[in-house]
Amino acid sequence: MKKLKIILHSKCFSFLLLLLFFCSCLLSYLFPKTSKLNPNQSSFSGTITAFQIEGDFLSIDLKGSEKIKGNYYFTTLEEKNQFSKNYALGDTITITGTWKRPNKNTVPNLFNYQQYLARNNIFYIMSIDTIQKEKASSSLFYRVKNWIGKRIEEKPEKGYYNAFFLGDTSQIEDSIFKTYQENGISHLFAISGMHISFFSGLLLFLFRKIGLKENIRYFLTIFFLFFYMILSGSSPSVSRAVVFFLFLYINKIQKLELSTLKILFFTFCLFGIIHPNIIWEVGFQYSYLVSFALILFQEKKKEQNSSYFLSVFKISIISFLIGLPITLFYFYQINVFSIFYNVFFVPFVSFLLFPTAFLSFCFSFLEPIFSLLVFILEKSSWFCSYFFSFSKLIFGKPDIWFFLAYYFCFFLCFSLQKKIGFFLLLLVLGIQYFFSFLFPSNYLLMIDVGQGDSILIHANHQNILIDTGGKIDYPKEQWQQRNTNTITDYTLVPLLKSLGIRKLDSLILTHGDYDHMGESISLLHQFLVEKVILNQGEFNDLELELITLLEKKKIPYYQNVKQFHFGKIPFYFLNTRIYASENDNSNVIYTILEGKKILLMGDAEREKEMDLLKKYDLDNIDILKVGHHGSKTSSSIEWINKISPKYSLISVGKNNRYGHPNEEVLKNLKNSIIYRTDLDGSILIKFQKHQLEIKTYPLE
Convert the pLDDT of each residue in 408-427 to its tens digit.
888 887 776 778 888 888 99
Residue 472, pLDDT above cutoff 70: no
Residue predicted with more confidence, 700 or 118: 118
Dihedral sign (CA 326, 327, 331, 332):
negative
Q: What confidence tier does 434 reach under pLDDT thresholds 50, 70, 90?
A: very high
Task: Give me the pLDDT at residue 248, please.
Answer: 84
- Mapped onto helix, strand or coil, the DSSP state of residue 394 is strand
Amino acid at the residue 57: F
Reported as a single tens digit per residue, the pLDDT across 603-632 is 999 999 999 999 998 999 999 999 999 999
Segment 31-55 mean pLDDT: 88
Task: Give me the pLDDT at residue 259, please.
Answer: 84
Question: In this structure, are residues 245 and 252 in contact, taking their beta carbons and an 8 Å threshold?
Answer: no
Mean residue pLDDT across the chain = 87
Task: Give me the pLDDT at residue 245, please.
Answer: 85
Residue 90, pLDDT above cutoff 50: yes
Segment 524-553 mean pLDDT: 94
Task: Give me the pLDDT at residue 651, please.
Answer: 95
What are all long-range contacts of 252-257, with beta carbons under 8 Å and residues at least 24 apart?
253/215, 253/218, 254/1, 254/4, 256/4, 256/5, 256/8, 257/5, 257/9
CA dist 225 and 239 (Å) reads: 9
Among 106, 76, 170, 54, smallest CA distance to 473 is for 106
Residue 460, pLDDT above cutoff 90: no
Residue predicted with more confidence, 304 or 558: 558
The 3-state secondary structure of 323-355, one letter per residue: HHHHHHHHHCEEECCHHHHHHHHHHHHHHHHHH
Q: Which residues share a beta bridge with 45? A: 94
User: In which region does residue 597 sit, left (phi positive, over 0), alpha (psi from -120 to 50) or beta (all else)?
Assistant: beta
Residue 223, pLDDT above cutoff 80: yes
- Mapped onto helix, strand or coil, the DSSP state of residue 423 is helix
Task: Give me the pLDDT at residue 98, please.
Answer: 93
Question: In this structure, are residues 648 and 668 in contact, taking their beta carbons and an 8 Å threshold?
Answer: no
Q: Which residues share a beta bridge with 92? A: 47, 135
- Mapped onto helix, strand or coil, the DSSP state of residue 625 is strand
Task: Give me the pLDDT at residue 4, please.
Answer: 67
> Would the pTM count as exceeding 0.85?
yes
Task: Give me the pLDDT at residue 319, please.
Answer: 86
Segment 492-505 mean pLDDT: 96
Diameter of the chain by CA atoms? Answer: 96
Residue 481, pLDDT above cutoff 70: no
Residue 10, pLDDT above cutoff 70: yes
Segment 150-167 mean pLDDT: 85
Q: Residues, the chain, total?
A: 700
Residue 125, pLDDT above cutoff 90: yes
Q: What percent of the chain has pLDDT over 90?
A: 45
Among 156, 167, 217, 222, smallest CA distance to 195 is for 167
CA dist 288 and 323 (Å) reads: 10
Q: Where are the alpha helices (DSSP H) in 254-366?
A: 260-274, 282-296, 298-304, 308-331, 338-348, 354-362
Residue 438, pLDDT above cutoff 50: yes
Task: Give me the pLDDT at residue 478, please.
Answer: 41
CA dist 224 and 295 (Å) reads: 25
Q: Which domains does the chain have, with CATH numbers?
A: 2-25+158-394 (no CATH), 43-138 (2.40.50.140), 400-437 (no CATH), 440-697 (3.60.15.10)
Residue 372, pLDDT above cutoff 90: yes
